[in-house]
Structure 1
Amino acid sequence: MSAPGFDVERIRKDFPVLGRELPGGRSLVYLDSGNSSQKPAQVVEAMRDHLTWHYGNVGRALHVLGSESTEAYEGARDKIAAFVQAPSRDEIVFTKNASEALNLVAYAFGNPVGEDERFRIGPGDEIVISEMEHHSNIVPWQLLAQRTGATLRWFPVTDEGRLDVGGLEELVNERTKIVSITHQSNVLGTVNSVSPILARVREVGALMMLDASQSVPHQPVDVTELGVDFVAFTGHKMVGPSGIGVLWGRRELLDAMPPFLGGGEMIEAVWMDHSTYAPVPHKFEAGTPPIVEAIGLGAAADYLTAVGMDQIKAHEKELVAYALEALPEVPGLRIIGPHTPIARGGTISFTLEGIHPHDVGQILDDVYGIAVRVGHHCARPLHLRFGIPATTRASFYLYNTTAEIDALVRGLHHVQKVFG
């Protein structure tokens, strides 16, 4: 059963690839949306239409094509601002992915414009992340600590796959400059509670950032309601194209931050010995931007809004509840992460006793046409915490069905027989 009014079979028709026959006559079962989602025809057509009839560079040309392209590009910014309930369109910065958005904020620390105290960082100061982060929310902060002499600290993860906030008061303290954590884990599926951490962050006068790459595509996200300072997410996980990501930040903080990249269009005026910079968001969008990708992302936001983010969340909750009941039927299967659908997204990572995940993924693909992801999912420290080198991950989205979960279970039983 799906949420009232949610017609998954109709939605699947918008994604032509889901009807593809793979070599050997296998039907495609796509359970890898946590890695990258498939694209509906509406997004593909919006991008093709712009490339065919309207393409020109943005912010530069006064001719018709340049004007149409600029209008469409900035229109996409409006759509994304509305999608995440940003107070101002100028708080939406287009990047090439979430990794760039996270790096942009990390770069601001230790490189202050006007010596803003909030971005001053050095020995004795601390940066806080968590043990469940994607590498994109670990490495930029490691680089910042190495560059400035600051100390990197992190929240541990419980055996159940939840964030351990028992030491919150000690971990987030007067030395903390920024806390950056995932909103939803790309491995565990865990949806983290923001409010208690944010309350402590405000007590000590620090800033807070969320990596929302796994939450923005799957549930309603209101950046104002979240109350944090920065949010990063990416287009290719939310039925949009690759090569486009988003940084949302509070306007006054973006104004205080230095440019991340230099080049065309991020300037106000240039002399041979110095430059002044354009206002946000253009201060952070050096060079020709990903024009058509931004337009595609705007079309993706339109598509998801039309389906309804509340309905998508409800549909995925049903899928993950079904999968959490069905998968343990497979002998030797161990789920890594919460075993209930409470505060949990549609991502399930698991191991099969005595069988390497690479073998699991290969057999599922070769025999059943089931696409899952195997490896450490760019979250190696989390896997080390659980004492495993890798997992198999099935991740669900608005176009998946319980029948596909049944196919996964059958496929895993077959894997067991092959190695039994």
Structure 2
Amino acid sequence: MNIKAPRGTVDILPKDAQKWQFVENKIKGICDKFHFDEIRTPLFEHTEVFARGVGDSTDIVQKEMYTFEDRGGRSLTLRPEGTASVTRAFVQNKLYGEPNQPVKLYYFMQMFRNERPQQGRTRQFSQFGVEVLGSADPAIDAEVIDLAMTVYKSLGLTSLKLVINSLGDLESRTEYRKALVEHFTPHKAELCQDCQNRLDQNPLRILDCKVDRDHPSMKIAPSILDYLNDESKRYFDQVKSYLDAIGIPYEVDPNLVRGLDYYNHTAFEIMSEAEGFGAITTLAGGGRYNGLVEQLGGPATPGIGFGMGLERLLLALEAEKIDIPVEDELDCYLVSMGEQSKSEAVRIVHDLRINGIQVDQDYQGRKIKAQFKAADRYKAKYVLVLGEEELEKQIINVKEMATGEQVEVPLNQLIDTMKEKLLGGK
């Protein structure tokens, strides 16, 4: 019997979950300032959502999806990325009809990809992402990039590099596609099997290949920037000017194509340059995907977004030696002695909690000395001591652990007293 977590999955234990919560709360606060709203979509979708939305020629669709049939014979897939799911929800729920446009959304999702596990890349992983649907303004491209950079900087990361490119509009991409086919066809037999297939299906993906990256033909491949029409050049120049205006440095990389078929115009990646971070340096990636809404049955609607792996974000924080503040102190620990005291302790703990005070007590039937040791392990700020004698007098001893100072407090004044000590009377 195999009772270990499946390969490519990890348990996030309580000591680490607090770090995740801190990061997630920080991100939610930033999204609120940028006026983005949260969306939550199902864990699985009809396979067609990803086949049409992500693209048949991508590695995700061809190799990495967890696909299964339900009892009705319908093909379903655990979501491997967020954009197609959010776009499907946008179309199905007719969010394009909302009076406030564009629709600015963010999500935290679990994703699933059947690929070889390695550091920071698991088969089940967590992703934060944003999608903006309904605007073709290059200023929103800059805003989306700004949001991603703000997340990293607000958490203290400094070793960052933003790389951007333009994939142009449909006309530009069509001309560039022809140039790539013409360039790589004489070298087809020298390329890996994946790239040989890509040459027919999506030649832009050849530039993204990790196997053939050092092939001589890569170094002299045509640049997309040479095939941008006037409209695409103007759009890209505007995006760059807005990034300049808000002081976000960037590098232009003509070979940046991203791994999904739906991208056009702006594409970008944010990388960590921290020493010891590892071979896979990408922290986040995204771009514009005008046309995706139509592919999923909606009206013509421009869109842009990004996905950010949270596991990789935590690794980047670790690489830059940034400590995440973890609250590991307990407000109160209640020590009780005797059956009658225990009954009263249950009531006291309940009342304190509903009045906003964090408190715990012994559930192991331990002696008083062991209960005090437990309070120490929990780093309790105050220990409340209730024995039969205290119960008879309707008092409770409140001991401040930092100073050792102890006072008797009438039971009917305990809540007000602890509020004063812990919450400043709130």
Q: Shorter-chain TM-score: what band? A: under 0.3
TM-score normalised by length of structure 1 = 0.26
Higher RCO (CA < 8 A, seq sep 6+): 1
